[in-house]
Amino acid sequence: MLCPGDEDWRFVPLNEPHFIDGWLAAPDGGVQLTLLNGEGDLLQTSAKGVSIAEVYSECLPPGEYFLRASAPSKDVPIGYTFELSTQPCGGCCESGDGCLDPTIAECVCVDDDFCCTVSWDQACVNQAVRFCGARCPL
């Protein structure tokens, strides 16, 4: 439960570059999700007062990060679901390197086994991004 004025914090330590994805849902609405670095600098925030709040970071360097859940527009306690995931940067984003994420590699190779049996080329990278959820730095 989030009570008026309360916040729920999640600590996210990264030992290597990763994306951070956060998801917050409250059936009654009124929630907001914020991503901050270890110094407390705002990196990203969701819309304020929504039923589903999401943040998807860019590729972040190693360090300490925090996700903050809040209900700034509510004056009564609300129930919520809070999910967090991280994904390594790169790994599937460069031709020639192969793909280090087994879920993405399997998704690509089901349609194009060349990517996993011969070479991970730019076509494999493109497919990983377009159809399999790979998030690659721009």
Pairwise CA distance, residues 24 & 112, whole Å:
35
Residue indicated by tokens 């916040």: 7
CA pair distance 65, 15, nearest whole angstrom: 11
At 137, the pLDDT band (50, 70, 90 cuts) reads low
- Residue 25 pLDDT > 70, yes or no? yes
The whole-number pLDDT of residue 73 equals 67
The predicted pLDDT at position 15 comes to 93
pTM: 0.70
pLDDT in tens, 83-133: 998 887 767 888 886 888 888 999 999 999 999 899 999 999 999 989 998
Domains with residue ranges and CATH for the chain: 7-88 (2.60.120.380), 90-138 (no CATH)
